Amino acid sequence: MTKPARPPHGIDLAARSRARRRALQAVYAWQLSGNRIDGVIDEFRHEQDMQIADLEYFEDIVRGVERNHAELDAAILPFIDREIARVDPIERAVLRIAAYELRERIDVPYRVVINEAIETTKRFGSEHGHTYVNGVLDKLAGVWRSAEYAAARS
């Protein structure tokens, strides 16, 4: 039996999880308000307890989603059953964040990305939203992380 992978030295997994949850709230706020992302991030820096979250990771995710949302949405679109704008705003934010991590943060195993997305959706999303998110991200991981995905399935 193989041991589970250990996080790279110096990575606080709990702080990363908190950063993802804060990123979800920030991306959700950005989606609904249309405000500039710098303003959204500044608001979260001042209003949220960011000392317990990985601030650098939070900013990377939020800025990455804002900067790449059109490409992320295009990648997600083949795996959803409606237009991206009609996806529940929480689930849309989770999908965008996880898609960004799958594409840009290859230092994070795809299973971690999907698990974090599922847990975040369970906490903030609709009752069965996590199953929808899981199905979409599993298909996306098969495309963007094909070698890692295939190795995990064998």
Domains defined for the chain, CATH in brackets: 13-153 (1.10.940.10)
Q: What is the pLDDT of residues 56-114, one digit of tens each?
A: 999 999 999 999 999 999 999 999 999 999 999 999 999 999 999 999 999 999 999 99
Q: What is the pTM of this model?
A: 0.89
Amino acid in the structure at residue 128: H
Q: What is the pLDDT of residues 40-53, one digit of tens each?
A: 888 877 765 666 77
**Percent of the chain's residues with pLDDT above 70:** 90
Q: What is the pLDDT of residues 111-127, one digit of tens each?
A: 999 999 999 999 999 99
Between the alpha carbon of residue 148 and those of residues 61, 98, 108, 114, the distances in Å are 21, 16, 11, 13
